[in-house]
């Protein structure tokens, strides 16, 4: 299957270059970077890193930041327009390790699964420097998902995932809705995959948080962004959104 990894990037100075340098030959066929509000130092870092790997890198630049969901959708558009059949999504700030991509793609390629969720909590998974409050939430949240979807989940908030592109083309799945411009998109797609009968499995990955001197551990603000993460599950379950 023709494969692509989509990496949204927003001011990941000193990180995205390191992420790119870890890509091993043939792990995917294409890397698609969607860069919000690109600055010269980021573009230079990417340009230098892409010369060290054997995988083609496509860059999509957005002059302003419209949200991570919007950025990922641009990657989807590129993937679908160019005939990619297997899509991987991962972080560009070093939390996810590209060398673990085969853990997610192998169940699709060899076992016929449609959707693979990376989990730091299944056997073989690992989590380093996870903030305490965030760790408590990400452990508790899958319990709610399991109860409301009937599908056992251990790590819903982990954005390191892989799925067949056919999921994106399912008429019952509408990822192009405006309300999915931010973090909602990832949870919308997760809910649809779990409730529409797609073959789903979790596989162990590592998740490492590196503290940023300004801005904490990530771009997510619990006080500002919590509804973007929690809302889709309840809105879809109640039929308020489709």
Query: What is the pLDDT, as a whole number, of residue 221?
Result: 54
Query: What is the pLDDT, as a whole number, of residue 127?
Result: 84
Task: List the alpha helices (DSSP H) in 150-174.
Answer: 166-169
User: Which residue in 28, 37, 118 sits closest to 20, CA to CA?
Assistant: 28
Number of domains into which the chain is organized: 1
Q: Tell me what the mean pLDDT of segment 143-163 comes to.
A: 96
Please check whether residue 104 lies inside any domain of the structure. Answer: yes
- 201 to 105, 155, 178, 187: CA distances (angstroms): 11, 11, 28, 16
Q: Tell me what the mean pLDDT of segment 134-146 comes to.
A: 88
Please check whether residue 242 lies inside any domain of the structure. Answer: no
pTM score of the predicted model = 0.92
Please check whether residue 193 lies inside any domain of the structure. Answer: yes
Q: Tell me what the mean pLDDT of segment 213-232 comes to.
A: 66
Residue 227's domain comprises: 3-237
Q: Out of 53-57, 99-103, 145-149, 225-229, which region has the weakest mean confidence (pLDDT)?
A: 225-229
For tokens 């909602």, what's the residue?
184
Helix, strand, coil content of the chain in percent (nearest 5): 40, 20, 40
User: Which residue in 168, 182, 188, 161 sits closest to 226, CA to CA?
Assistant: 182
pLDDT tens profile 12-37 = 889 999 999 999 999 999 999 999 99
Please check whether residue 30 lies inside any domain of the structure. Answer: yes
Please check whether residue 48 lies inside any domain of the structure. Answer: yes
Residue 216 has pLDDT above 60, yes or no: no
Q: Tell me what the mean pLDDT of segment 95-104 comes to.
A: 97
Buried b (16+ CB within 10 A) or exposed e, 150-171: eeebbbbbbbbbbbbbebbeee
Please check whether residue 164 lies inside any domain of the structure. Answer: yes
Average pLDDT over the chain reads 92
Q: What is the CATH number of the domain that holds 218?
A: 3.90.550.10
Residue 214 has pLDDT above 80, yes or no: no
Paired tokens of 205: 């990955």
Query: What is the pLDDT, as a whole number, of residue 136?
Result: 79
Query: What is the pLDDT, as a whole number, of residue 208?
Result: 87
């Amino acid at each position: 299957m023709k494969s692509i990894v989509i990496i949204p990037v927003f001011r990941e100075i000193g990180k995205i270059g390191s992420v790119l340098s870890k890509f091993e030959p043939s792990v995917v066929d294409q890397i698609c970077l969607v860069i919000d509000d690109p600055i010269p130092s980021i573009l230079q870092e990417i340009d230098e890193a892409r010369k060290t790997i054997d995988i083609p890198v496509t860059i999509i630049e957005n002059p302003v930041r419209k949200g991570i969901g919007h950025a990922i959708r641009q990657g989807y558009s590129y993937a679908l327009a160019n005939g990619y059949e297997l899509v991987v999504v991962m972080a560009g700030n070093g939390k996810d390790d590209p060398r673990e991509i085969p853990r997610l793609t192998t169940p699709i390629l060899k076992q016929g699964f449609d959707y693979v969720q990376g989990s730091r909590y299944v056997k073989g998974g690992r989590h380093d420097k996870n903030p305490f409050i965030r760790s408590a939430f990400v452990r508790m949240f899958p319990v709610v998902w399991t109860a409301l979807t009937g599908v056992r989940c251990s790590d819903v908030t982990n954005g390191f995932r892989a799925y067949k592109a056919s999921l994106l083309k399912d008429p019952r799945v509408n990822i192009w809705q405006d309300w999915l411009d931010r973090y909602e998109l990832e949870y919308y797609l997760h809910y649809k995959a779990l409730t529409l009968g797609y073959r789903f499995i979790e596989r162990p990955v590592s998740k490492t948080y590196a503290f940023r001197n300004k801005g904490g551990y990530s771009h997510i603000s619990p006080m500002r962004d919590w509804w973007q993460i929690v809302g889709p599950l309840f809105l879809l379950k109640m039929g308020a959104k489709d």
